[in-house]
Structure 1
């Protein structure tokens, strides 16, 4: 489904045309009807002659409500540039046209309204004006349609032109990417709760899905979805959608907030952008200038740090770091507009290049080169740059960071693997999965150089331990759990490390007591052999005792009672045999049989209870499985 937006000067008939096409009045507010002027966004839909349904977003034309206009055009696929034939091109016509140009809206129609008020000669003059105004814009070669919403003349031709327009629009990817819904409305409905609306971008949403509304941390769940007042179980990108949310109140949500998946997009206060200043204005953009930033449905005050110039004159393009007063949730590739706060004036716009940059110093060649690769690089260059910043990372995260679909990314990855610039960690095949972990060759070498000495130092500190806890090594290397797991498995595959479910160790590491510790242990084992059923407490340091237990030289049944393995096995078999013969075993039987004290009998039996071999029954023990 495609979304078409209106654009044009106030009172040029945008809302009237939408109502004539759809039968839906997009002016929702009483004040709009009283003043006969659109103040906020309006929404409608129409089924074209081909049977395809499109959404229409009606935006205000008055200069005082340009902020509302910007909230509506962020997610559109094409635009209807509407010019009243009796007035021709007016100031907001030019401003809206510049905004569409900056947002990269390349598809649309030029619609001349109110043609019933002019004659053919006047209409020809309007076309001459448009020829001059549209030169060097994306709308220069677009189809023009003349209509009268009052008489109905030209409406059929306009619907046919919309059908032809939709047929030329690029197909939307239905499943790839992160679902993003820039919220343009939030309101409550009795019996249902909070409802938000917007144009869905990136990926699908479905009922029951857990979502996050940011830049705060408001988690919610989707109770229901509607498109054009029709209930849906799943909604694909490109749809105008109403989302019924549970777990969040409508007053917690504002226009400009973003609905997405938890953890998918990190809020930011710094954005690297390519900024183009509108050619037809007289105001340049200067370093550290205060601007209002519009992206998606959001508006945020910011400062412009010019990275490669002291000033950007009208018509110029430059690299800028926008430093925001409030956090935003955005992704690379999104389009934006900047305006002068006072007096209010649209200055320019462009594309977000890096939504999570560091704070840059100005006039740095390496910073400029990095931004140029991000903007114009080949898929291989984009992947490598993203991986240099985020290495190691998963395939899904890498595609998102590089702003590439999986097909282009796969081609770039094949080139990098051929160059041996990138490795797949713990991956037995070349089939890429979303959670496949990748790392640059340089970063993998650095990880190898780091992890072996870390584990080596751990062995030196704790020579009797089998290995270093995996979680401790993960934290030392500052890796996410999924990434760390792949790194450890790959290191084991390359025989740098050995590992089990809990620990890692060097392949040549064998825990061995020193001579003093060996003598201590031998003395304890001899004492246990002399008094097998009333053993002395294991007075060994904690490391040596843990090693002896790990090696199976001792079996510990309580903090101060250990038995030799042969003694423990003898006692265990006696307990089982006694229960089988007499139905249970008593503490006194143990004491009498082995000449031991209650302390050792109780320690053993409670240990067997904990191991689920026995269980208490009255004054004695029975087998747990009986």
Structure 2
């Protein structure tokens, strides 16, 4: 499917028995009431779905929600993913309680577009319809539907349906085209088992694409399974993309392990959370204030959980007020920054407010802290502030992780990071990004660790790379560490000495006893020449402890007085230079060299000669061809 293909989800809202289901049936030809009880009682209990071919050919998905107050939770499950809402009002009854509650919910969720639909107009006089329309206009004043168009229809006679369909298409064309190139995310609103097929789930695809054969993760429980088949509006398709109603047949997943509210997504991209930072707004007509740690029912996507609201800057939140809060959830769900949610009072259950997620995985905050509230307001103020806050919280992270935390696409994340880099607030360290304050802290840590190592190991030429990296958090990658180290070396604060890192002015200073011991070791290697003993034998002969040996041999190697061939094989520098000269002289007269030939030339044991020739190979002085060696990049004579 094309990235620019337009997919739209239409939803209904309104009081029970105001004709929502009949309207959808008249528009689409589909009976969305599928349950026996729904047909028996004549009201919608659960969500209904239908495809709707608009006059211009676009096929929209329709979600029909129940209007009865007892099934408001089902209504909330279906309404979250819609792009365009039809607020349905029966002209014979006018605005009713669920009309108002649904309108409040739609406004809190910030549904992009809407149309007011007056139904059953065949049963009312024109003057009466005018009065009802004026009543509805007064009700929606100050909401997202304040300037919405009004359609007068009859599902029985068909009057006004063509005009409504054209109006829907006009509105739908103004909606932004969804970018389906992000990670796949589908909240589950239904799940069931079909004989011969296994587990089937349905939902509105919020982002990304999905194809048969894809591996997806179901959260909860966290199982990764294969998509056996993809359907859109009851028809098998190769691929579905963002903005479509989708049914997925999942292989190897027991229906009992999933529930409404779970999310199907790209594996290893989404995470569950039991705590969110959010901007919460209470309705002006909420029945009472909200107190610290009051329980609420929270509806996000298709999930419903109980949350304890932690008020961070007050003890009481009055109706009509808005505040940044932290909500602790009784069970995990998948949340994204900017996700909208609804809260209902714990008991009796009534809609009291809603809001949007600022941070889906925050740390626990202490209350009444000015610096915390300022940081949270910065977090709320925009994408760049949010990303900088996440960088500061995590110290270092990847673009992929920031995509996950922010809900933004990769291009927008990278654009914001580049701006932060230009402002000197963030740095790219190869495969990771870090906030500037973290970077400054790490520079200090590396210098301190090097200074401390010098103090504790006065004879060592410097601190080994691996030891120095241990001074940084584990999450800092090897590539990021090397980049940071290069930056510090380029600044002249540290220097690289072969395998070690040292302060720029560092010089090892042996004590008198250490200097004597070093002289003994060097003299022994100088006397031994090509027939020198291996390291362990030399340590035993010179009566050195393992700790002394490690320190002394490292010092002599760093000073260039000994040459290390292997962990056990060292040569005196003069002996080694003699071996290099023998190598040059041989290849001046010959094209190849065998181990036996060099053993005879050098006059040493086979094991020692083999280590020496492999050392020459590693330096690219020679290259092995079968059992022989040929000259490659022989060093020039000093």
Q: TM-score range by the shorter chain?
A: 0.7 to 0.9
Residue 627 of structure 2 is matched in structure 1 by: 623
Residue 484 of structure 2 is matched in structure 1 by: 487
Whether the aligned pair in 1 keeps the contact of 2:227 and 2:249 (CA below 8 Å) is yes
User: SS where residue 371 of structure 1 aligns?
Assistant: helix
Residue 64 of structure 2 is matched in structure 1 by: 58
Q: Which string of whole-angstrom CA distances, capped at 9 and with x for unpartnered residues, describes residues 363-405 of structure 1?
A: 3333333333333x36665555454444444556557756767
The alignment status of 1:422 with 2:425, answered yes or no, reads yes
**Superposition TM-score, scaled by structure 1 size:** 0.80
Q: Which string of whole-angstrom CA distances, capped at 9 and with x for unpartnered residues, describes residues 216-262 of structure 1?
A: 54334555544334555654432323344456444332221223344
CA distance in 2, matches of 1:208, 1:519: 72
The alignment status of 1:335 with 2:343, answered yes or no, reads no
Whether the aligned pair in 2 keeps the contact of 1:287 and 1:304 (CA below 8 Å) is yes
Moved more, 65-74 or 201-210: 201-210
Residue 531 of structure 2 is matched in structure 1 by: 533
CA distance in 2, matches of 1:226, 1:490: 53
Deviation at 1:438, TM superposition (A): 4.9
CA distance in 1, matches of 2:198, 2:499: 46
Residue 100 of structure 1 is matched in structure 2 by: 106
**Superposition TM-score, scaled by structure 2 size:** 0.79
CA distance in 1, matches of 2:279, 2:557: 64
Cα distance change of structure 1 residues 423 and 88 upon mapping to structure 2, 3 Å threshold? closer
Cα distance change of structure 1 residues 503 and 602 upon mapping to structure 2, 3 Å threshold? closer
Whether the aligned pair in 1 keeps the contact of 2:65 and 2:78 (CA below 8 Å) is yes
Deviation at 1:547, TM superposition (A): 4.9
Cα distance change of structure 1 residues 514 and 70 upon mapping to structure 2, 3 Å threshold? farther
The alignment status of 1:321 with 2:326, answered yes or no, reads yes
Q: Which string of whole-angstrom CA distances, capped at 9 and with x for unpartnered residues, describes residues 566-600 of structure 1?
A: 47959x98xx99xx9999979xxx9x99999xxx6
Residue 634 of structure 2 is matched in structure 1 by: none
Q: Which string of whole-angstrom CA distances, capped at 9 and with x for unpartnered residues, describes residues 494-529 of structure 1?
A: 344456998754455566766544543443343345
Cα distance change of structure 1 residues 404 and 507 upon mapping to structure 2, 3 Å threshold? farther
Equivalent residue for 2:259, pick from 245, 251, 254: 254
Deviation at 1:130, TM superposition (A): 1.3
Whether the aligned pair in 1 keeps the contact of 2:360 and 2:405 (CA below 8 Å) is no
Deviation at 1:302, TM superposition (A): 1.3
CA distance in 1, matches of 2:506, 2:209: 51
The alignment status of 1:186 with 2:183, answered yes or no, reads no
The alignment status of 1:449 with 2:452, answered yes or no, reads no
Moved more, 115-124 or 201-210: 201-210
CA distance in 1, matches of 2:111, 2:140: 14
Unpaired runs of 5+ in structure 1?
A: 428-434, 614-621
Deviation at 1:158, TM superposition (A): 1.5
Deviation at 1:70, TM superposition (A): 1.0
The alignment status of 1:293 with 2:281, answered yes or no, reads no
- Give the root-mean-square deviation of aligned CA atoms: 4.2
The alignment status of 1:524 with 2:537, answered yes or no, reads no
The alignment status of 1:307 with 2:312, answered yes or no, reads yes
The alignment status of 1:127 with 2:133, answered yes or no, reads yes
Residue 635 of structure 2 is matched in structure 1 by: none
Deviation at 1:203, TM superposition (A): 4.2
Q: How does 1:380-419 map to 2 (within 5 A)?
A: 381=385, 384-394=388-398
CA distance in 2, matches of 1:593, 1:501: 30
Residue 115 of structure 2 is matched in structure 1 by: 109
User: SS where residue 55 of structure 1 aligns?
Assistant: strand
Equivalent residue for 2:224, pick from 216, 219, 225: 219
Cα distance change of structure 1 residues 188 and 456 upon mapping to structure 2, 3 Å threshold? farther
CA distance in 2, matches of 1:337, 1:310: 21
Deviation at 1:79, TM superposition (A): 0.8
User: SS where residue 284 of structure 2 aligns?
Assistant: coil
Whether the aligned pair in 1 keeps the contact of 2:220 and 2:258 (CA below 8 Å) is no
Whether the aligned pair in 1 keeps the contact of 2:107 and 2:144 (CA below 8 Å) is yes
Cα distance change of structure 1 residues 610 and 24 upon mapping to structure 2, 3 Å threshold? farther
Deviation at 1:603, TM superposition (A): 7.8
